[in-house]
Amino acid sequence: MAAGGNGQYDCIVVGGGHNGLVCATYLARSGRSVLVLEAAERLGGAAVTREFAPGFRVSACAHLLHLMPAPLMRELGLAGHGLKLAAQALPTVALSADGAHLRLAPGDLSDLAQHSPADATAYAQWQALAQRLTAALHPVLAEPPPRLGTGSWRQRAALLRLGWQIRRLGRRDMRELLRIGGMCVQDLLDERFESGLLKGALALDAVLGSNLGPRSPGTVLSLLYRIAAAGGAEGLAQPQGGLGALSEALARAAGAAGAQMRTRAAVERIVVRQDRASGVVLASGEELAARVVISSADPKTTLLGLLGSEYLDAGFVRRVAQLRTRGLAAKLHLALEALPQFRGLTPAALRGRLLVAPSPDYIERAFNHAKYGEFSAAPMLEITVPTLADPALAPPGKQVLSVIVQYAPYALAAGWQGQRQRFTDLVIDTLAGFAPDLRRCVASAELLTPPDIEREFRISGGHWHHAELALDQFFMVRPVPGAAQYQAPVPGLFLCGAGCHPGGGVMGLAGRNAARQVMREAA
Amino acid sequence: MLTASEPHYHQPLLKTPFHERARAASQLDSFVAWSGYSTVDVFTSVEQEYFAIRNASSLYDLTPMVKYRIAGADALRFLNRLVTRDLSKTGPGRVAYAVWCNDEGRLIDDGTVFCIAHNEYRVCTAERQLDWLSASAIGFDVEIAEVTEEVAALAVQGPTSCALLRALGLAGVERLKPFELGQFALPGAARPAPARIEMMVSRTGFTGDLGYELWMRPADAEGVWDALMEEGRSRAIRPVGSRALNIARIEAGFLLPNLDFVSAAHTLRVGTERSPLELGLAWLVDFNKGHFTGRRALLEEQRRGPTRQLVGLDIEGNKPAHNALLYADRSGRKPVGSVTSATWSPTCKRNLALAMLDAPYIALGSTVWAEIYLNRELVWERRMARARVVERPFYAPQRRRATPPADF
């Protein structure tokens, strides 16, 4: 729908990342006129597929799709808008230096039983518990969090509903949830399992993208969060054409709903008139008016950058400024002339997700460095070879290797400038420990450090979740008290990005929850 | 200052640059702690000191006032977002009384803002504010430095204060209007301080009377004190302590932190913090100047209407209603508020109080009852005294505003 007669849109969405597009789709479907403004040349934010070497393309940040709930994808009709999965229900392979790797596939624990029969039983029990907890936790993620202290019955009812969902788990599961909720994941894993590879793989899931190690408190919460966000659906998927294809499908869904989208339209500031957000000014100087502005940019960028502290109270500004937003995950892309040989793995096994996280101790040691502003001497890796399922991402016969590397602190004490090559070599050497001929296959490499991600995708601190996912930045206090219901203190301004509940990963729930809140608050 | 040889638990109070002079002038050795400094509570007698303020000239050492230098390209924008009033009208050479609130619109502190030059200010506060000022500075190009120890301050208050400063050679001081400041020099005298002493003088004060505040380098403090005492002898000048000043400030209707309100930065109990609207400072809140911290909360409070307010009370009898609870009627069954500051006013000859009262009773002219306890030779009596809500300030002499002031 076009802007109203006075040139005013009902809604302007700042940022065309996945959450911005999801939010725009729901708002446009409600009959509102919606304009999405994206600074980059393409929609998708960090969920884009980019050419990093001539003819080689790769998902820029996240390289697997696993958090976006199936019902949301159905509601958006993404399959109808061209989203195809090149692979799904991908297995995870926990690499071992001695070649005795552990393969975990959805519904297939036979390899685990070979490693440890006791773990196979215990893991099945853990998965069953996680499924039951997800039934209670997933609805929490799929709704705006309640706001306390307003005296509103609706808010109190929402909190009661949450309590009821947890109580409904039954006494045993509820007790277990409350017992493990604040624990560190290593304690949980040591209680339940014996295999270092299994524990390492689960610990990686708990700390991926976070400023946490397996012994950091709250890492059980982040593990449960990861499981619950996916709605209990097991397995990882790889969109055909990379994550960028997901964004393209989202954009088509938004377009079909009537939303307009503009790229190369960087928002410079949010306009406030009479203490109300009334539009935006683009870097070009063009001013666009809207009844409501919804930003999918991270909270610091939106509130301190685009809006500015002068429109906010000082205590609130301090909370936003103190938000922990420093990323620790780097991305390494390798263009390969040929497929390297991983010791102990068939080429078919390379289609899955490979992990270099042989034990929780390995990850904790890798994390130690990050605490002091150094990168890990022996980093934790999540590896995919997307070209195996989707050969079109590389020239014929050639391959792409995509690696998420932790820990690569945003504020490297030595500065990233002189360290990029050293770090790239370190990661390639680590990989070569498992695939000795890798180095010969590498045609070119691209490293994205957190500062690169910050610059490239306009995310403060280069943090994938926009703000650390930890208890103190979670649920009713995410991103900060006073903005946890997608509503900024300035009337007419909303947030819909990963910095909001339920957080980041390519999930899309923040965008949908925010759209609902906009419809409720700004009818 | 703390020295290495002293154990940490012996940390002494700081001494102001006037301390030696004050100690010499003190008959009672009655010192109290104020913002980390030792200052005089009473020199000789509260009554004598009070009448020096109202009838002659008084010296009051206000060095412990916490002082900040605030400067930078965004200094005005920063201050206007900090305080509730509009400072864009307070140009160079002007002073403004202002208050600031937290996000919930509850008072953190009050203070005076001196505009020394374009985008250069001095802010004087009762309590240390660096944490809040720093939080407020996020996103603004402004430098904040505490300069409490770099500036000595002396209040010269009373009907003869202008004449005294003129007699000392502060040419043109009589042209300063209320809430104006200027740079002046005390000419070199034959006495021990031979050189000219440069200082900033503002026509401000906490007495509600004619008066000035002198801001100088600590090294010049004793020279200024000596010159004022010497020249002021014929004008019955007296150094005064905090107790005498307290009577004058109640007459003038000024608020004192921790007596009339507790900073929202320090309150622990729910509901004990106060908003400027509740404290009768609505005139300091400008909703039209743009955003400031607490604005949305205060607008909401204004929309709901007051639930309580600080008022002035005129109480029958002559016994100050210190800490008195206030009731709707003489029976004392329905509490409606309490007294925050009380005094017998020697000048008004009225029994005055500032009190926090519940909304239905805050209108001018309404009557409540104060429960006053009297100690009569160790026999305690309870008295219910009728109290009427009256206008503030209780005492506002013409000379406070007259420019030039009368020459005594």
Residue B10 in tokens: 């012996």
pLDDT at B1: 45
Compare A305 and B194 and report the one with higher pLDDT: A305
pLDDT of res. A235: 75
Quick one: B58 and B155 in the same domain? yes
User: Choosing among B81, B141, B295, which should be mutated to test the A contact, i.e. which has the most A CBs within 10 A?
Assistant: B81
- The residue behind tokens 């509130």 is A303
Q: How far apart are the first and last CA of chain A?
A: 17
- pLDDT tens, residue by residue, B340-392: 999 999 999 999 999 999 999 999 999 999 999 999 999 999 999 999 999 99
State how far the alpha carbon of A210 is from the alpha carbons of A376, B66, B239, in Å: 14, 43, 63
Whether the pLDDT of residue B193 is over 60: the answer is no
Specify whether B56 is located in the same domain as B76: no
User: What CATH number does residue B325 fall under?
Assistant: 2.40.30.110
Find tokens 């005139």 and name the residue: B283
Residues B172 and B212 in one domain: yes
Task: Give the closest residue to B277 by CA, choosing from B289, B294, B265.
Answer: B294
Instruction: Give the chain A residue nearest B81 (alpha carbons).
Output: A310
* Average pLDDT of the segment spanning A74-87: 96
Residues of chain A in contact with residue B139, where contact means CB-CB under 8 angstroms, are 304, 308-310, 317
Which run of H or of E encompasses A520?
Answer: helix A509-521
Q: For A317, which of B139, B295, B296 is closest by C-beta distance?
A: B139
Tell me the pLDDT tens digit for each residue of A457-508: 999 999 989 999 888 898 889 999 999 999 999 999 999 999 999 988 899 9
Q: What is the DSSP letter of A210?
A: S
> Could you give the percent of chain B with pLDDT greater than 90?
93
What is d(CA B395, CA A404) in angstroms, rounded to the nearest whole number? 74
Residue B7 confidence (pLDDT) above 80: no
- Residue B132 in contact with partner chain A when CB distance is under 8 A: yes
Strand partners, A161: none
The CA distance from B254 to B246, in Å, is 9
Average pLDDT rounded to a whole number, residues A80-99: 95
Cβ within 8 Å of B, A 357-416 = none
**Does residue B106 belong to any structural domain of this protein?**
yes
Residue B87 located in a structural domain:
yes
For residue B78, the distance in angstroms to the closest alpha carbon of chain A comes to: 8
Which of B117, B141, B165 corresponds to the end of one domain? B141
Phi, psi of A416 (to 5 degrees): -75, -20
Tell me what the mean pLDDT of segment A143-169 comes to: 84
Answer whether A223's CB lies under 8 Å from A202's CB.
yes
Element (H, E) at B97: strand B95-101
Q: In this structure, are B166 and B35 located in the same domain? A: yes
Is B81–A489 a contact, with Cβ atoms under 8 angstroms apart?
A: no
Q: Is A313 on the interface with B (CB under 8 A)?
A: yes
Using the beta-carbon criterion (under 8 Å), do B102 and A310 form an inter-chain contact? Answer: no
Lowest mean pLDDT segment, chosen from A163-172, B27-36, B362-371: A163-172
Cβ atoms < 10 Å from Cβ of A444: 13
| pLDDT of res. A156 | 85
pTM of the predicted protein model? 0.94
Looking at the complex, does the CB of residue B129 fall below 8 Å from at least one CB of chain A? no
Q: Which of B141, B171, B204 is the last residue of a domain?
A: B141
Same domain, B73 and B20: no
Q: Is residue B182 part of a domain?
A: yes
Mean pLDDT in residue range B99-126: 97
Residues B155 and B47 occupy one common structural domain? yes
- Are the beta carbons of B239 and B25 closer than 8 angstroms? yes
Q: Closest Cα of chain A to B140: distance in Å? A: 8
Last residue of a domain, one of B198, B214, B240: B240
A315 lies within 8 A of chain B by CB: yes
Poorest-confidence range of A438-442, B121-125, B191-195, B237-241?
B191-195
Distant-in-sequence contacts of B10-16, Cβ < 8 A, 24+ apart: B13/B37, B13/B38, B14/B38, B14/B149, B16/B61, B16/B63, B16/B64, B16/B152, B16/B221
* pLDDT for position B35: 92
Q: Closest approach of chain A CAs to the CA of B139, in angstroms?
A: 6
Set of chain B residues whose Cβ sits within 8 Å of the Cβ of A313: 102-103, 293-296
Q: Does B103 touch chain A (CB under 8 A)?
A: yes
For residue B4, the model assigns a pLDDT of 58
What is the nearest CA distance from B279 to chain A, expressed in angstroms? 21
Does any domain span residue B368?
Answer: yes
Q: What is the mean pLDDT of residues B111-119?
A: 97
A277 close to B (CB below 8 A):
no
Instruction: Note the pLDDT tens digit of each residue in A319-361.
Output: 999 999 999 999 999 999 999 999 999 888 899 999 999 999 9
| Pairing outcome for strands A287-295 and A399-406 | unpaired
Quick one: tokens of A186?
């290593």
> Bridge partners of B122?
B69, B114
In CATH, the architecture of A8-47+71-82+242-324+461-521 is 3-Layer(bba) Sandwich (3.50)
| pLDDT tops 90 at residue B208 | yes
Predicted pLDDT of residue A297: 97
Task: Give the pLDDT band of residue A294 (cuts 50, 70, 90).
Answer: very high
Helix (H) or strand (E) holding A262: strand A260-262
Residues in chain A closer than 8 A to B103 (CB atoms): 313-316, 482
Distance of residue B295 Cα from the nearest chain A Cα, in angstroms? 8
pLDDT, mean over chain B: 95
A280 pLDDT more than 90: yes
User: What gap in Å lies between CA A241 and CA A193, rounded to an integer?
Assistant: 37
Residue B74 to residues B43, B136, B257, B311, Cα–Cα distance (Å): 44, 12, 28, 37
Q: Where do the structural domains in chain A lie, given as residue ranges?
A: 8-47+71-82+242-324+461-521, 119-229
Residue B395 has what pLDDT?
96
Whether residues B47 and B194 fall in one domain: yes
Complex ipTM over 0.90? yes
Chain B residues in contact with A314 by the CB 8 A cut-off are 81-82, 102-103, 132, 135-136, 138, 293
State the alpha helices, DSSP H only, in A230-339: 243-257, 299, 314-322
CB A294 within 8 A of CB A270: no
Same-domain check for residues B231 and B336: no
Longest pairwise C-alpha distance within chain B: 67
The CA distance from A261 to A11, in Å, is: 12
Shared domain check, B310 and B382: yes
Number of domains in chain B: 3
Q: What is the mean pLDDT of chain A?
A: 94
Question: For strand B57-61 and strand B237-239, is the pairing parallel, antiparallel, or unpaired?
Answer: parallel
Is the predicted pLDDT of residue B190 greater than 50, yes or no? no
Query: Residue B157 belongs to what domain range?
Result: 8-63+151-240
On whether both B18 and B159 belong to a single domain, the answer is yes
Residues B89, B39 within the same domain: no
Answer yes or no: do B157 and B114 share one domain.
no
- CATH number of the domain enclosing B210: 3.30.1360.120
> Nearest C-alpha of chain A: how many angstroms from B32?
33
Domain annotation covers residue B29: yes
Lowest-pLDDT range, A4-8, A434-438, A503-507, B285-289? A4-8
The answer to whether the Cβ–Cβ distance between A309 and B140 falls below 8 Å is yes
Distance from CA of B292 to the nearest CA of A (A): 7
Q: Is the pLDDT of residue B191 over 60?
A: no
Evaluated on CA atoms B249, B253, B256, B260, the torsion sign reads positive
Residue B220 binned pLDDT confidence (cut-offs 50, 70, 90): very high
**What CATH number did the domain enclosing B124 receive?**
3.30.70.1400
A311 interface with B at CB cutoff 8 Å: yes
